[in-house]
Structure 1
């Protein structure tokens, strides 16, 4: 037999069910002494339909009979399914009966007390009267539906509340290095220890309250008005800084900024506002004021990735939170008001916020006017540990932002090596300091040095840090040399092509104008900045000087600073003598300008040997024979065998240019724009010699990470 589509399969193991009539009753045969059952024939079914739908004439009898028969079958199937489900659920219900039985008496008592309340009686009477109206039942159902949805929404908000300990983010460190591997800045995520309130200096507590909530000690009660004030403030986008506005402001800032994580000015959802009200009421009801203050200090952010007063004190000032002084406390409290500021970059802006904190401490009588003035003078010369002219320029942050995509997700430990030259940086800082001493107080000086490829080799910022602009991003990208993630190389820029002179000059002027911007507030708007740009060998140097020394526009001050830097560069890096001046040019060609001095050659060393040019013959991956002379590639321990054959295939009929690199037979060779030493190490066809330059060590690390060549 076949079954129709949509029908259930018959259970052949069970006895057939007795036939049922259309009304659901079981039909049975009449016994010998029994009266026949009432007829359920067509006439009875018509009477049933007429009773169900009075006033309508029965039309389409056969179709209605089929429909009623189908309804009867559905009813029978539902009854059977219910029996099966009850059998499966019986053990579960039996297990849950015990706890429910213990809860039932208390639930019945609570329900009885609630029902006996006069308000419940009035509400029930109002519901009965509303139900008698034509539209009352619909309105009542709609109200109940709205209340049900609201209860579900509140329950969901309560279930998704953030933890009171704050978000847990694993620590990570990004070290920004100079070209020689010296650290110049550190970035990352640091979470401090949870400290009791007595482990924080009293002046730090007072400074934090002056910044976050000067009226923290005012009385506050969680009565009806207090609860309404908390809810109302949770739905406001700003937190008032004036006198007490009816809500616990420190708790509200703690919840909104540190627990929920909404920065000032960011849009908030309805759920965030409800969660804020819930958490504020919870903390105010469960914790006292010292505990709330300690929690706020432990969860406050003191810059990007720096959380907690313990981490801030140790990272920025190298001391414990109990040892902070008034100036340091004002600096940290001001930084907590604008946690997007970098403490070692936006030093001037944080100092301005710290002065506002000192004024608030005087208002709270935490400091006298004389103590505030003394702390203000100390604050004027205060800088965090690690704050340098390089960090204040913003270059490390731009480089890290440019490398973020390659380092994602957040690494446990990462290294970013840049083109910054420590020798040039020291010259630039000393020259700027000399010009500032000559110019007197009120002047600002700075400079920027770009290499041939547009990478930043030295920078001194006396004004504002560089903004995140396309020009600044291009300079940061050109400054990248090596990226490492958790001990594994991620990116190496082995060969950097030169930037066109006009483009490099335009980029330098744009960046210099950004560095020369005065900080907001302290400078006189009538003062003018003088800028000067000029070459120093293969470098491009731009300088600026503001204040009294720049009264002639691009006058004597900036040009004198440029001449000072250019003289220092020429003294440390004398221009190599051109090959054409030492000997006649060979018939095969002459040495190109710009490649006379290798990037790793001693700047004060002169080349004693002549440049070579031609098609070489490979001895091994570290030695070539060119013009009848055997030469060694700089920084390479060569390999023979298959690696030498592959290298010969790579150089087949290609002309190379080799420049002396200091030794009798040591040369730096290029095939086009490719440095052959870097090519060999990058392909794993050799090992870096002891004392090899950083570029070659990076190429070897790249091959080792890829398990190429000899590193398989």
Structure 2
């Protein structure tokens, strides 16, 4: 009859009482440390005494021999000198030969004793400096944010989700068995430290070729999470062992396991098993199935690498290892493991955060912290329009990719804002992963002629009109002599023309006559918060400002409000029924005096109609705006407006180096035009349906299990897919395990698929079922049809039943011999 396996524990068996044993072990450890210290000190003292005695004896013997040799030499100089060995009796010679071994033995003893003494002292020091149990306090200020777009769609999560601590009654047995099997199969047998388990884990990992099993016990991991810092040192490992023994003496096994599950990190910002269950599966821990439990249990060893939201395949493979380990420990049968593997695990997670929206999310997270200090996880309804955001990212990226190299443009930024100040889209830079610096909100750059808005508005408020004539002539104000960009003078010009053509000498004269303090007051009234120096050159934009504050200032002219307050949050809610914050309706505010607004709008439109901003014209739509260019072409701006919104654009270089003659009417105006042309259609669609942003967001239902917001339900196959996809071939994409096939595209693999993957890298794709009744999907990127882009670039063949527009795209690629048609005739 075989002996029972000590690693296995019957399901109905009560856990052994290891408390008393653990207390005895802790006491023994104290005595051992003390005795090691005494022993090492005694050894050191004894070695010292023995060494001194040996030295004295050897010195006396050698001195006697030397004296005898000198006496013999003096009595008979010709006689041979007796050797030292011959002069000694046989017994003394033997003793002399043996005595040199004693220092060697003494040195060897010191070599052994001193490290032991040092080790004992180190262990004692680690014991005496033990931190208190539970000394690591979770920062409650690090709240999790679930972020919704203006229409209520969840598009991002930020921060650490904590969930609700689970109790023994809420813990599914298979979840506890899965954690114990993969992390610490002798959990119910050891006293907190398991040398046998450590050796077994090392062997299994070596044989298996990877990390199949951990060496630390669950108790050690719990201590590490709750009582120790993340320092990697011998001292911390020693303290971890002492604290593990102490925890085992003070807590039951079930309480240790629950404490570990409630504090462990499971990836994707989820701390604790309940938060992980809600983050990945949209349910509380109590409702987890066996395959779901196995997947979560497999995450704790490498949560960042195995988080199923980013590595579903790796998480599934690890879950299979957990199920096999559960079979080995007797927790489940092989048949139950096979059945669990056969079940489909479906994630219920928010869609992947659009890459470029992180600039906006950084701003939103900071604002949410200012608006409420309520603890717990929060859901934020933002002002972001996902369609406009995707469009803005694509427009900026395409224009900089096409012209950035030859024109020496390194960076760009864009802010789109509604008349009431709501931020609809924000691009803070070319690539968030490369640089998190937000050039729309953090970069302060000289405004150039963009600042002339405040000069002319001050003039119109003081009785001048667009028809007022000034002379474009050489001007000197003190030591300052402003010049026009073309170094020429036009003579008498109306203010409308001077503004449209951005004539510097006229703006300088206006600033001098009106007074720079009056211009500063106008700018501050429209919401400019940066420091504005009282110097004559301020009229030409020598002050450093941000794109966001200048965009809101122009929005104030469009909305006839002073100032327009920009905002990015409509509402914030937590676990309670009532919202924690709702953005207030705009308070009554003074408009621009008299007809100054009408005259200013007229001048802004003249810039686009026939001035420096002609490149911003949009067919069939009234547009006004102003260009700005700083000295040596270090900055180029364009802020324009339509009846619905204001859009600000900046391009330049982070190191303040010059571009290749890029002015505000060049690339910035082109970016504005490209964006507004497509955004107008999006805004028109928005007006045809009730805007979710206008209605107060519905509060979340009170949660009974956890205040953490549950992830939205998984999208059914026929619904929209959105995110950065994986490319299977040029006609097939994958969105987190959901396969999407493009209508009318016969996909190709190999280098064509790799080229498409590089093109789609960090760019959001939006896919919807084909309205034509086929089984395919039509996808768009930056407003363009992705299938048409692929076919027109020669990245695939069109299917026989492809729509006419896709057949035409393939024919274009054939005729131009691009892509796969390059070597064909």
Q: TM-score, normalised by structure 1?
A: 0.41
Q: TM-score, normalised by structure 2?
A: 0.36
Tell which structure's C-alpha radius of gyration is larger.
Answer: 1
**Relative contact order, CA 8 A, sep 6+: which one is greater?**
2
